[in-house]
Amino acid sequence: MLAVGFYFMRRNKDIDDYYVGGRGMSSGHIGLSVVATDVGGGFSIGLGGLGFAIGLAGSWMLFTGLVGAWLSAYFLIPKIFGLLRRHKLFTFPEIFFHLFNSRVAFLAALVSAIGYIGFTGAQILAGAKLATATFPDLSLQSAVWIMGLTAVIYTVFGGLKAVIYTDTVQWIILMAGLIFIGIPMSYFAVGGYDAIKATLDPSFFNLFNLPWVDLFNWALTIIPIWFIGMTLYQRIYASRDEKTARKAWFLAGIFEWPIMAFMGVLLGLFARVALQQGMFDELGYTDLASIDAEMGLPLLLRSILPVGLMGLMMSAYFSAIMSTADSCLMAASGNVLTDIIGRYTNLSEHKLLRYSQYVTFAIGALSLLLATQMNNVLDLMLMSYSFMVSGLFVPLLAALFFRQKSSVAAWWSILIGGSTTLSLEVLIVNNSFHIPLDLNPNLFGITAALITYFSIAKYKSNELPTYRR
């Protein structure tokens, strides 16, 4: 992976190459990169945790990913390519710059960058959890630094081309590892179908063993991210044309659900069987009270795989984790450099390319520090998603689809929506507040953003952008 980064460092000529891959990538590379970024290691570990906790019904989480991918392919991508025919875009907030004004773009960039710093931290934490469960002599801090620095260094040097090409390789490694090593060996290690059925409660095999509120919360958080995710916009811009981008999105949806969804929860389900059969007793995990659900999958692999195959399987998961971490790092870096630093400076193309590497490294360092402070991968990912969605989803819909446009309304909508969700998340984490029915705070953030936008847009019309590139 480091070699790929250094290779593209020598081939990147300008910011176009660094942030949008030269705008000539194929649908195959883009599609695999999209699903590798979206599912990656964090969701792989998170899906394993859901399979461990509730069984096959956990796969519905990624069904929302398929819905989001296909909706954005049909509604969003044609709109974006309409803009691309008029403007040379690098980032998601530039849409707000051209359709609202620079103040809205600045705030959107800030929200997006903060969200992706959190999401990058979640991927690094996923890798660290996997490493420490697998290799007991490796501390969590050491694992965080090894995973984080590797992803940061090749991303800093290689840019988006390095990210997309390494994503393709990493995704192939993960798929091969799951299909040929992880799933079959786990299945036979726990005794096959009869043993699995005898060990688990029938609810683990029921696809509808899921409260409606969980599916609603996932849909509310994951579907909109396909419309406001900076990592996804970079891949739209990197696509050869509109047809290539839409084909890549349809391909990514199929890989999300059913392919990755069921492979992830199956491994988690096998881990639950292994725990109940006493396979983890020697490791100090004797019952459900002693184990974190997200640790079940790493412990299963550690228990059943021999030396050699264990190395290949770990390579698969570490690759998946890095494929998401590097993309999120590029997203946050692009927001900061293009929409915050570059918007208000007159740096030359060569200096911008150099500064982009400094910014990427600095953001990577922040994500590493965040990874050392958090405990749950899925919670950190969904919290980061919710913050971005509640702040950016309504203004994006307004920019692209609403007839009534207002820059003032968009600015306040971002601020009120994002801060509402963030405040509720903090109160819930500190056990200071409980939302009825366990609804996602994102619902209240999006609702606040929508009310704010229409309340202000009724009186404030759109202004012209205050700055032109």
294-337 confidence digits (pLDDT tens): 889 888 988 998 888 888 777 777 777 777 777 788 788 878 88
Assign 464 a pLDDT band (cuts: 50, 70, 90).
Answer: very low
60 vs 294, more confident: 60
Residue 24: count of CB within 10 angstroms of its CB: 11
Q: Choose between 141 and 82: higher pLDDT.
A: 82
* Phi, psi for residue 101 in degrees, rounded to 5: -160, 180
Segment 107-131 shows an average pLDDT of 85
Which residue type occupies 126? A
Tell me the pLDDT tens digit for each residue of 132-188.
877 778 887 888 888 888 878 877 776 666 677 777 777 777 788 888 888 999 999
Least confident span in 262-266, 370-374, 390-394: 370-374
Specify the pLDDT at position 213.
93
Beta bridge partners of 25: 239
pLDDT of 467 > 50? The answer is no
Mean pLDDT computed over 412-418? 95
Count CB atoms within 10 A of the CB of residue 194.
8
**What is the rounded distance in angstroms from the CA atom of residue 174 to the CA atom of residue 194?**
28
| Residue 91 φ then ψ, to 5° | -130, 170
Contact 261, 57 (CB under 8 A): no
Backbone angles phi, psi at 229, to 5 degrees: -75, 120
d(CA 371, CA 223): 25
| pLDDT for the residue numbered 446 | 96
pLDDT tier at 31, thresholds 50, 70, 90: confident
**Which one has a higher pLDDT value, 27 or 155?**
27
**Four-residue CA torsion sign, 126, 302, 205, 320:** positive
Q: Are 32 and 320 in contact (CB under 8 A)?
A: no
What would the pLDDT profile of 336-373 be if each residue is shown by its tens digit? Answer: 887 888 777 776 666 766 777 788 888 888 888 888 77
State the pLDDT at residue 152. 81
- Please list, in sequence order, all residues whose beta carbon lies within 8 angstroms of the beta carbon of residue 374, skipping any fewer than 6 positions away: 121, 122, 125, 380
Higher confidence at residue 259 or residue 161? 259
Looking at residue 469, its pLDDT comes to 38
Instruction: Identify which of 126, 34, 58 has the alpha carbon closest to the alpha carbon of residue 267.
Output: 58
CA of 169: how far to CAs of 234, 317, 320, in Å? 19, 12, 10
Distance CA 115, CA 221 (A): 13
The band of 378, judged by pLDDT with boundaries at 50, 70 and 90, is: low
Distance, in Å, from the CA atom of 427 to the CA atom of 435, rounded to the nearest integer, reads 10
Grade residue 445 by pLDDT with cuts at 50, 70 and 90.
very high
Backbone angles phi, psi at 279, to 5 degrees: -70, -20
The model's pTM is 0.85
Closest to 418 (Cα-Cα) out of 388, 460, 373, 382: 388
As its CATH architecture, domain 2-376 has: Up-down Bundle (1.20)
Question: Cβ-count burial of 420 within 10 angstroms (0-12 exposed, 13-18 middle, 19+ buried)?
Answer: buried
